[in-house]
Chain A
Amino acid sequence: MILWTNALIEGVLLGGLYALFAAGLSLIFGIMRLVNLAHGDLIILAAFVVLSVAAWLHIDPFAATLAALPIMFLAGFALQYCLLNRALGRGLLPPLLVTFGLSIIIENGLLELYSADSRRLHGGSIETSSIALGHAVSVGVVPLLTLASAIVVILVLNFIFYRTALGRAFRATADDLEISQLMGIDHPRIFSVATGLAFVVVTIAALYLGMRANFDPTIGPERLLYAFEAVIVGGLGSFWGTLAGGIIIGVAQTVGAQINPEWQILAGHVAFLTILVFRPRGLFPRAVD
């Protein structure tokens, strides 16, 4: 019984990490219908930015992440404004190809700059500290923070989406681009702000990825798959859905592993496919499109 409780708790915590990976993807896809194949590499890029800021200012990764957030927002804004906006609106293929190319450029650029060494963000003693729940179950502080951050990120994103003028513009462009333009929405700018926001989320994801395991320039694409699955399981456009999707994949993996470690990754994929069979549009799709 303890074993299964533990697997369940670890799965939920792992789901927090997957939800963080997925939130940025969900944001970009929800608003622009842009499948960002470079998302995994962007997480790694953000991790290197945090690493550099931490090393440069001699601060711990949490403070470094705070400092990196505005940099990454501007980077995202510029990327969308100068590059991705030009690829949008010409069918499905150009944005896919552009982000695919971007992924290769980021990977090799990082390799050139930072070499192939694997790095980590060092958070000191917090990395291995844990809180005991009962006598047999203890949860790590960092995984707990990861889940908490995922929830906060999603609360904030929901607030922006449903309580602000900016969010209204986001939803309008997502619902109907032409009509929103008639209403005077400057959609290239709205898109750029959205990508900037996505980069902020990516940076937070990078902090926890970098503290949980090593990263090196080439590890990004591997991180993309679970993020995609979480977005699809949760339903397009729903941030709470993305969190739920992440947690479902995470729990499926840990419970699968408890039965047999060979089934860990498989169990996540099976859960994903099962949900697609019964709910092809995911659990909580935002709009009918």
Chain B
Amino acid sequence: MKKYTRGINRRALLQYSAASGAALAAGVESPAIAQQKPIKLGYVSPQTGPLAAFAEADNFIVGNFKNATKGGIKVGNAMVPVEVLVRDSQSNPNRAAAVAKDLIVQDKIDLMLVASTPETTNPVSTQCEIEEVPCISSVAPWQSWFIGRQANPTGGPSAWKPFNYTYLFFWGLEDVIAVYTTMWGGVSTNKSVGGLFPNDGDGNAWGDKVVGFPPVLGKLGYKLTDPGRYQDLTDDFSAQLAAFKSAKCEIITGVMIPPDFTTFWKQALQQNFKPKVASIGKAILFPSSVEALGHDGNNLSSEIWWTPNHPFKSSLNGMTAKALAGAYESASNKQWTQPIGFVHALFEIAVDVLKRTPQRGDADAIVEAIRGTNLDTVVGHIQWNGANLPPFAAKNVAKTPLVGGQWRLRGGNKYDLVITENRTFPAIPVGGEMEPII
């Protein structure tokens, strides 16, 4: 059986033709060889380039997946072999679209999986929507993924259309806002907030006067000082620091790229600006970026999508979140990161969907199965039921739980991510109290 799943190489072909030739020559009817065509999964992620940290665990996860599906997956009564075709987007949206197209047109994949940042998920999802191939995405906030792919992103809900072939599971901006503001409630401050929003997709969304932080903060009694959109890779933040100092900000928030946050934070400390809370998106997602701050990263806070302490387990191989992270750490000698759980869950859903789709080669049947998903994964329950979502996104988006927490210096230069705020999802246990930075 193994030979068939690998495709036929030159030697095998010669053997078969020799054998069948001999059989024909002998005038004996050759036995029909029952060969199952494998189901093909395409997976696109940024394995190289600036976004490569997101895909660092890909080999580990795909390896796990191949192990779990070695004997094929059970569809109806048959065991069907599965093949995963992994492609690198090189952190480039154009490249992502190109490899997605190749997977669809040349490799004729049955189901597309894509992860990590809108720069990867959006072009791949768009190709799938055009070519009518089912696609599951993750690790991109739903607004960037759903609204960003609309023909008229600024047109408002009435102009936004749902998609037929592309689906996403992740959280959204409203969850980040809820997590941050509940976290801030745990520390006594003067409620003066400084905002650092860059002039990029995320920064503009976070700082938006309608859907972003400003309206919610106003309602909760916080005073926001937003000096304006700066460019990514800025080398100097003295203007922002001057504004925050004069507004006596005790809370800092924003969505920054890692080098910018380091520049800001070092400059702030040099200029004696020491806020009590700093809740930053994106910049301190990975432990390596916090370690880059030396000892000055203690008690920085951020939104948390997944940790080894999440009370979930994999439907694919039964591993708990803790076991999965532990296996990654011992396989790679690196600290676990949040995307691991989500990429793993992507493959969990793929297997679950394929199991429920006996019709082979029918894209619409696969889409039906995706929409009928009701699965407990290593990142929580996934169901495209529109819960906690506005009606326009209800069809294509499934939300996963989001909590908040702080990086705690463990000794040496290592940090641990500790959940300190779970009011947004109480089933996930907290690991400590929210602490002010100094």
Contacts and interface: CB of A to CB of B under 8 A. Distances in A.
Instruction: Tell me whether A and B are bound partners.
Output: yes
Interface of A: 3, 6-7, 10-11, 14, 17-18, 108, 111, 115-120, 122, 124, 127-130, 138-143, 212-216, 218-219, 222, 226, 250, 253-254, 257-258, 260-262, 264-265
Contact of B258 (A3, A214, A226, A257): A214
10 contacts: A116-B51, A116-B52, A116-B53, A118-B292, A127-B266, A130-B271, A130-B272, A213-B266, A218-B50, A258-B242
B294 interface: yes
Contacts of B233: 219, 222
A257 B293 contact: no
Nearest to A123: B294
User: Top 4 A-B pairs ranked by shortest CB distance?
Assistant: A116-B52, A140-B270, A257-B239, A117-B288
B231 interface: yes
A120 B263 CA distance: 11
B186 interface: no
B367 to A, nearest CB: 34
Contact of B288 (A3, A119, A138, A265): A119
Contacts of A108: 48
Given A138-B271, A258-B242, A261-B230, 13 more contacts: A7-B238, A111-B48, A116-B52, A117-B53, A118-B258, A130-B270, A139-B270, A140-B267, A142-B270, A213-B262, A257-B238, A260-B228, A265-B230
Provide the main secondary structure of the chain A interface.
Answer: helix
B286 A117 contact: yes
Interface string B259-275: 11011001101111000
A211 to B, nearest CB: 8
B270 A138 contact: yes
A264 B288 CA distance: 28
B361 interface: no
B238 A10 contact: yes
Contacts of A116: 48-53, 56
Given A116-B53, A118-B289, A261-B227, A138 B272 contact: yes
Interface of B: 48-53, 56, 91, 199, 227-231, 233-236, 238-240, 242, 258-260, 262-263, 266-267, 269-272, 286, 288-289, 292-294, 296, 413
**For A127, A141, A219, which residue has the most chain B Cβ atoms within 10 angstroms?**
A127
A257 B237 CA distance: 8
Contact of B292 (A119, A222, A258): A119
A228 B53 CA distance: 29
A213 B238 contact: no
Contacts of A212: 235, 262-263, 266
B228 A213 contact: no
Contact of A129 (B230, B239, B270, B294): B270
B272 A213 contact: no
A17 B236 CA distance: 11
A126 to B, nearest CB: 10
B292 A264 contact: no
Given A120-B293, A212-B263, A262-B229, A10 B272 contact: no
A261 B296 contact: no
B430 to A, nearest CB: 28
A216 B52 CA distance: 10
B50 A264 contact: no
Contacts of A7: 238-239, 242
A261 B259 contact: no
A191 to B, nearest CB: 31
Given A138-B271, A261-B230, A254 B262 contact: no
